[in-house]
Structure 1
Amino acid sequence: MSTRARQFSAEVLRREELSPHLVRLTLGGAGLAEFTSTGVPDEWVGLVVPGQFQSRYYTVRSWASGELVVDVVVHDVGLVTEWAARDCVGEPVTITEPRGSFTLPAGAAWVLLVGDLTGLPAMARIAETVDLPTRIWAEVPDDLGSYLPEGSNVTWLAPPAPGASALAEVVDGIDWPDGDGYFWMAGESAQMRAIRKHLMRERGLASTAYDVMGYWRGSAQRQPRAVDPGPIYRAGKAAGKTDDQIWAEYDDARNT
């Protein structure tokens, strides 16, 4: 029997425009008294805003002193984006208990992070948390040079067009470090599918050596729902399916 994710009430304490496309919301209130972070650096929560009944998922940029910070990508339309684009301070929201997937394999000597604007909050928190040589590729439309930790080894990339991404091409050209490490990536779903295939077929990486997640779909500009890949992967392996077939099922589950 499945258990419904626990929910917490909160309110918007502060709102800050970090760039034309990124808004920081600081959430707090008595309803977060029992909220507990997983400590996983790419953890996310579901966010339900006034007038909406569906949650959208956002990285927990930070959690400290009873305040939870999420950075929201704003664009023309969307369940949360239109609300976050205006003054929403003082308004009530609901968040779900956090989930995360970043898992460094034993013996990892380096970390590679690749993502677009939706993946930037997680990449920043990972870079702050992981004590390993870390290289970052960030595809963003705005000047966010101070967003990542000072001293980050980052390559800033411009999207090929509004609402588009070319990160699969970027990954094809990566000069990989020697030894074993961990590759983490988040962005547009079609790009992520192409990259996942590249990692499996061209790089021959074990499934434990990377985490690639589609955060949004270019065709519909809608964020896929969060789905735990673990049960899908284990069931697929038990059924004798290939990694390509299993990850295709995972993408289908996130986009339904």
Structure 2
Amino acid sequence: MPAVVMGTVTGVRRTSPSFLTVTLAGCSTLETGGFDQRIKILLAQPGQDEPVLPPAEDWYGVYREMADDVRPVMRTFTIRAQRGEEIDIEFALHGDAGPAAAWALSAAPGSRLGIIGPEIGDNPKAYQYMPRRPDWQLLVGDDTAVPALASIISALPADAVARVFVQVPHAEDVREFETAAQVKVEWCVGGGLADAVRSAELPDGTPYAWVAGETSIVRDIRRHLTGTLGWDSKPHYFGGYWKAGQSEG
């Protein structure tokens, strides 16, 4: 059974033009599995001081039955870090005016946010990153995948080898990833993520790919890896996080 908690903002930090990290307390019953750990965030409807949360038991069934003007807006995010009862959620502002970005930009200490995620002892955790003894890893994402990529890269062991391709909107969004692994990062500022992967000279050996971001870009990269390069698609993760031309709703 998942944990359903009301998080309270204790800090907001703008790290670059496209990224903002919000720290929330009240999350002691949550337990991240690390990597690209997914959670649901619940945002209040207009006129509400805080979102109305469903119970942990049959939370989705209750959520679906809520009235339209009561049901909180729900989005999927990554736990970036956890320190006891506090968690960090990093928001990719992503150039849009969707409800999650709007909430993050207006968040201040005391702001409230609902969270649905893995409770302590819940196993398996809700993450997609699951390499199976590869010789090397291909990690690819646009700005919406940067929080997950940063978490994955920070958890890599020292003997891991990874090629990383990241697309961000602005040069000021480029960052250093903390890791003990052997990681080579190529940044694509403003676009060109799929082209960078297609033109790259990739290592020999058994690979593992984790690719996430805009749906059509992820599809192009998947076609290149499985079609042009002949990789088996089954061991890898290809996640369409959003679609160009569609608002966040």
- TM class, shorter-length: 0.7 to 0.9
Residue from 72, 82, 101 that aligns with 1:81:
101
Measure the CA separation in 1 of the matches of 2:86 and 2:3. 18
Q: Retained in 2: the 8 A contact 1:15–1:26?
A: yes
Residue 188 of structure 1 corresponds to which residue in structure 2?
214
TM-score (norm 1): 0.76
Measure the CA separation in 2 of the matches of 1:64 and 1:9. 16
1:196 deviates by 1.9
Amino acid at match of 2:44: P
Measure the CA separation in 2 of the matches of 1:153 and 1:201. 24
Q: Retained in 2: the 8 A contact 1:181–1:209?
A: no
Residue 199 of structure 1 corresponds to which residue in structure 2?
225
Q: Retained in 2: the 8 A contact 1:50–1:91?
A: no
Q: How does 1:86-125 map to 2 (within 5 A)?
A: 86-98=106-118, 99-105=126-132, 107-125=133-151
Measured against aligned partners, the alpha-carbon deviations of 1:108-133 in whole angstroms (never above 9, x if no partner) come to 11111111111111111111111201
> Is 1:10 paired with 2:28?
no
Residue 173 of structure 2 corresponds to which residue in structure 1?
144
Instruction: Extract unaligned runs of 5+ from structure 2.
Output: 46-50, 52-71, 119-125
Residue 242 of structure 1 corresponds to which residue in structure 2?
none
Amino acid at match of 1:59: T
Q: Secondary structure at the match of 1:124?
A: helix
Residue 188 of structure 2 corresponds to which residue in structure 1?
157
Residue from 40, 44, 47 that aligns with 2:41:
47
1:147 deviates by 4.4
Q: Secondary structure at the match of 1:197?
A: helix
Instruction: Extract unaligned runs of 5+ from structure 1.
Output: 161-165, 224-256
Amino acid at match of 2:184: N
Residue 127 of structure 1 corresponds to which residue in structure 2?
153
Measure the CA separation in 1 of the matches of 2:228 and 2:248. 29
1:78 deviates by 0.4
Measure the CA separation in 1 of the matches of 2:145 and 2:239. 9
> Is 1:179 paired with 2:213?
no
Q: Secondary structure at the match of 2:186?
A: strand
1:47 deviates by 0.8
In structure 2, relative to structure 1, the CA distance for the partners of 1:147 and 1:221 (3 Å cut) is: farther
CA RMSD of aligned residues (A): 2.0
The alignment covers a number of residue pairs equal to 211
Measure the CA separation in 2 of the matches of 1:222 and 1:197. 26
Q: Retained in 2: the 8 A contact 1:45–1:97?
A: yes
Measure the CA separation in 2 of the matches of 1:76 and 1:222. 8
Q: Once the two structures are aligned, what percentage of the paired residues are identical?
A: 27
1:200 deviates by 2.1
Amino acid at match of 1:149: E
> Is 1:38 paired with 2:33?
yes
Q: Retained in 2: the 8 A contact 1:9–1:94?
A: yes
Measure the CA separation in 1 of the matches of 2:230 and 2:175. 35
Residue 19 of structure 2 corresponds to which residue in structure 1?
22
Residue from 209, 213, 234 that aligns with 2:235:
209
1:149 deviates by 1.5
Q: Secondary structure at the match of 1:46?
A: strand
Q: Retained in 2: the 8 A contact 1:46–1:55?
A: yes
The structure where strand makes up a greater share of residues is 2
